[in-house]
């Protein structure tokens, strides 16, 4: 039985499962080339169907990650905002009207859109609650028979944080936190206060910048803005800092009095802004730890699954993983809204159809793949000179090039699911070079100087490099690097002595593992610097995308499967 899952607002995506196992999944942005694509995922759907070799008529159920009729609570929040300020009410009303007319009402036409664009089909269409889609997307693909589940983001319908317990093929809702109290909206509002763009996904910039600052504003933010209330929940005071006003770079006087004037986009980042980022990050982490301990008390479970946009905060995750009573943790690689497409499909399979679990997600490679011949055809069309080499020749050659300072665009197998490059569509480079972060950020990626770069490492060396047992195949946690390794791999160690590793398993991705191992044989370093293969765009999907990036950016070599292009010296 085939079930299609859909995410149709920001980070739109499609997932296809067959008898409960994931067959294909991809974000629409990879095909449209528009970051955080919002809208119906036509191309992602077509990819999933094509990869499975089916048409829409073979799909029996479609799960959608949102219930568009849950509007009462949001409407009441807009009314309450009117008693705070006219600007606050207008920001909510304008946003709400646009969402209802353009987005929510449009969801009722999705079944027709599918049939109009992909042909007749007798599928049943199911609207699944947003946060339960998040919960399903992590628990049902985890290795756990039972677990506590925390999902947290900006908002889904009216819920911002959901406490659940998963057992077998069932998910039980335990507690909800609703608008306006939102960890995601708190962090997004701070993102715009510092002059970044929440709509561009710039929350990651706040997390990276935080490591440079001091928590000078922690007391204000934790006591006046995002407050733990002693009842296992928290409160976000929108009178002091409001997410909807922040979207327009408008901020109440109460927050400006304490933090100063907000930074305008493009203005210089100063130590003052570092300190705001650091303070907000620490408040988020401490609140998250508080909630994680609360759900531990509620459930008694030893395992914790997490999802939602806040679960991408890898610094927070590292603290949860190592400072809470849970023994085991799981966060899947597409923890944000794109992953809800998978969760919606799995909710139909397990919760509605009562089917047993048999699938565990231990890798992220569910996107398109291309043969050597398809890559060669694209290279020929671009007029690029290349040589085609077997792995036993190519991989040692690449390791030597990287050890000699080359930056390589690495295109290998099926594209990753989720926002992290995990050795399928990656830039790889030498982690030993102190200057490699500046070279990649400034000359190649064209992004801010403070953005950290991450290591892909042989799984077998995790305990040695971090000084403790740690397993993370999806680059979703930040952890302290042991002292003796910090000086060996400075390009992937952040200013605070931490790194965000991808542990590469030999059986899961043998080709990438072998490339890293060839580098180890040459240098004694069992890891490579890894960052996403993109330049101010979505991660590359096709050979043509990779070739276009090679033509527009300054890096040394391009690998498309077994085809190697080396840039000629200028």
**Position 156 in a domain:** no
- The string over 439-459, giving b where at least 16 C-beta atoms fall within 10 Å of a residue's C-beta and e elsewhere, is bbbeebbeeeebbbbbbbbbb
Structural element, H or E, at residue 328:
strand 328-330
The token pair that represents 403 in the structure block: 């050890």
Of 499, 524, 504, the residue nearest 437 (C-alpha) = 499
Three-state DSSP at 241 gives coil
**Position 324 in a domain:** yes
Is residue 188 domain-shared with residue 201, that is, in the same domain? yes
The token pair that represents 308 in the structure block: 């939602």
The token pair that represents 404 in the structure block: 């000699």
**pLDDT for position 443:** 85
**Position 317 in a domain:** yes
Q: How far apart are CA 247 and CA 443, in angstroms?
A: 30
Three-state DSSP at 172 gives strand
Collect the ranges in the chain with pLDDT lower than 70: 71-84, 86-102, 570
Q: Which domain holds residue 241?
A: 183-330
**pLDDT for position 285:** 98
Contacts of 348 (CB under 8 A, 6+ apart): 3, 5, 61, 63, 126, 128
The token pair that represents 134 in the structure block: 């998040």
**pLDDT for position 80:** 62
Is residue 515 domain-shared with residue 376, that is, in the same domain? yes
Is residue 512 domain-shared with residue 480, that is, in the same domain? yes
Rounded to two decimals, the pTM is 0.95
Residue 321 · residue 329 · CB < 8 Å: yes
Of 393, 407, 391, 403, the residue nearest 522 (C-alpha) = 403
Instruction: Label the pairing between strands 13-18 and 21-27.
Output: antiparallel
Q: How far apart are CA 463 and CA 534, in angstroms?
A: 31
Of 562, 431, 555, 564, the residue nearest 499 (C-alpha) = 431
**Position 58 in a domain:** yes
Is residue 397 domain-shared with residue 428, that is, in the same domain? yes
Contacts of 253 (CB under 8 A, 6+ apart): none
Q: How far apart are CA 83 and CA 81, in angstroms?
A: 5
Is residue 411 domain-shared with residue 546, that is, in the same domain? yes
Residue 474 · residue 416 · CB < 8 Å: no
Of 169, 114, 119, the residue nearest 140 (C-alpha) = 169
Number of domains in the chain: 3
- The string over 110-132, giving b where at least 16 C-beta atoms fall within 10 Å of a residue's C-beta and e elsewhere, is beebbeeebeebebebbbbbbbb
**Position 91 in a domain:** no
Structural element, H or E, at residue 160:
strand 159-167
Is residue 200 domain-shared with residue 340, that is, in the same domain? no
Is residue 345 domain-shared with residue 389, that is, in the same domain? no
Residue 240 · residue 254 · CB < 8 Å: yes
Angle between helix axes 271-299 and 314-323 (nearest 10 degrees) is 40
Q: Which residues pair with 59 in a beta bridge?
A: 2
- Which CATH number do you get for residue 32? 3.30.420.40
Using the 3D structure, point to which of 293, 322, 352 is the last residue of a domain: 352
Bond preceding residue 180 cis, omega within 30 of 0: yes
**Position 386 in a domain:** yes
**Position 222 in a domain:** yes
Per-residue model confidence as pLDDT tens digits over 337-354: 999 999 999 999 999 999
Residue 229 · residue 334 · CB < 8 Å: no
Q: What are phi and psi of 145, to 5 degrees?
A: -75, -35
Is residue 412 domain-shared with residue 380, that is, in the same domain? yes
Using the 3D structure, point to which of 264, 299, 330 is the last residue of a domain: 330
Residue 527 · residue 428 · CB < 8 Å: no
Maximum distance among all Cα pairs of the chain, rounded to whole angstroms: 70
Q: How far apart are CA 169 and CA 489, in angstroms?
A: 43
Q: How far apart are CA 307 and CA 331, in angstroms?
A: 6
**pLDDT for position 102:** 61
Contacts of 294 (CB under 8 A, 6+ apart): 163, 232
- Which CATH number do you get for residue 429? 3.90.870.20
- The string over 52-80, giving b where at least 16 C-beta atoms fall within 10 Å of a residue's C-beta and e elsewhere, is bebebeebebbbbbbbbebeeebeebbee
Residue 198 · residue 333 · CB < 8 Å: no
562: left (phi over 0), alpha (psi -120 to 50) or beta: alpha
**Position 377 in a domain:** yes
Per-residue model confidence as pLDDT tens digits over 508-563: 999 999 999 999 999 999 999 999 999 999 999 999 999 999 999 999 999 999 99
Cα 535 from chain centre: 17
Is residue 517 domain-shared with residue 419, that is, in the same domain? yes
How far is CA 289 from each of CA 144, 410, 503, rounded to the nearest angstrom?
21, 37, 24
Is residue 489 domain-shared with residue 447, that is, in the same domain? yes
Is residue 396 domain-shared with residue 537, that is, in the same domain? yes
Is residue 321 domain-shared with residue 396, that is, in the same domain? no
- The string over 1-19, giving b where at least 16 C-beta atoms fall within 10 Å of a residue's C-beta and e elsewhere, is ebbbbbbbbbbbbbbbbbe
**pLDDT for position 88:** 62
């Amino acid at each position: 039985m085939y079930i299609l899952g859909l995410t149709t607002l920001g980070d739109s995506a499609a997932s296809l499962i067959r008898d409960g196992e994931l067959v294909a999944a991809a974000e629409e942005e990879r095909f449209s080339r528009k970051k955080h694509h919002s809208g119906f995922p036509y191309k992602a759907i077509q990819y999933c169907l094509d990869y499975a070799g089916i048409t829409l008529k073979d799909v029996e159920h479609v799960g959608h990650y949102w219930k568009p009729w849950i509007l009462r609570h949001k409407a009441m929040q807009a009314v309450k905002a009117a008693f705070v300020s006219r600007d606050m009410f207008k920001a909510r009303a304008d946003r709400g009207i646009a969402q209802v007319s353009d987005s929510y009402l449009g969801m009722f036409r999705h079944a027709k859109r599918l049939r109009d664009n992909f042909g007749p089909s007798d599928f049943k269409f199911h609207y699944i609650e947003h946060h339960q889609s998040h919960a399903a997307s992590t628990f049902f693909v985890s290795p756990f028979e039972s677990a506590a589940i925390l999902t947290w983001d900006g908002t889904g319908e009216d819920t911002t944080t959901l406490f659940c317990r998963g057992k077998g093929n069932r998910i039980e809702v335990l507690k909800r936190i609703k608008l306006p109290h939102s960890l995601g909206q708190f962090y997004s509002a701070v993102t715009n206060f510092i002059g970044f763009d929440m709509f561009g996904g710039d929350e990651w910039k706040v997390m990276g910048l935080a490591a440079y600052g001091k928590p000078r504003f922690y007391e204000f933010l934790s006591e006046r803005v995002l407050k733990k209330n002693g009842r296992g929940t928290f409160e976000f005071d929108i009178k002091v800092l409001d997410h909807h006003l922040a979207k327009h770079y408008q901020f109440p006087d109460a927050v400006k009095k304490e933090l100063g004037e907000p930074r305008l986009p493009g203005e210089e980042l100063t130590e003052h802004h570092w300190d705001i980022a650091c303070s907000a990050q620490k408040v988020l982490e401490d609140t998250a730890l508080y909630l994680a301990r609360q759900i531990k008390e509620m459930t008694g479970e030893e395992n914790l699954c997490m999802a939602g946009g806040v679960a991408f905060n890898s610094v927070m995750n590292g603290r949860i993983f190592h400072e809470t009573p849970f023994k085991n943790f799981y966060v899947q690689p597409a923890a944000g809204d794109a992953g809800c497409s998978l969760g919606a499909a799995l909710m139909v399979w397990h919760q509605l159809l009562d089917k047993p679990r048999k699938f565990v997600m231990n890798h992220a490679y569910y996107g398109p793949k291309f043969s050597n011949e398809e890559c060669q055809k694209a290279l020929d069309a671009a007029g690029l000179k290349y040589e085609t080499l077997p792995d036993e020749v190519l991989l040692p050659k690449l390791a030597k090039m990287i050890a000699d300072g080359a930056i390589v665009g690495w295109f290998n197998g099926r594209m990753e699911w989720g926002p992290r490059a995990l050795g399928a569509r990656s830039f790889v480079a030498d982690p030993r070079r102190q200057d490699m972060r500046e070279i990649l950020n400034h000359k190649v990626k064209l992004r801010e100087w403070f953005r950290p770069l991450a290591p892909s490492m042989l799984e077998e060396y995790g305990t040695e490099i971090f000084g403790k047992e740690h397993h993370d195949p999806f680059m979703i946690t930040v952890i302290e690097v042991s002292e003796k390794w910090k000086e060996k791999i400075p390009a992937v160690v952040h200013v605070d002595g931490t790194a965000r590793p991808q542990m590469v398993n030999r059986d899961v991705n043998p080709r990438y593992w072998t490339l890293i191992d060839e580098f180890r044989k040459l240098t004694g370093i069992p890891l490579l610097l890894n960052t996403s293969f993109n330049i101010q765009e979505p991660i590359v999907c096709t050979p043509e995308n990779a070739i276009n990036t090679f033509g527009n950016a300054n890096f040394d070599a391009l690998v498309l499967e077994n085809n190697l292009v080396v840039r000629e010296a200028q």
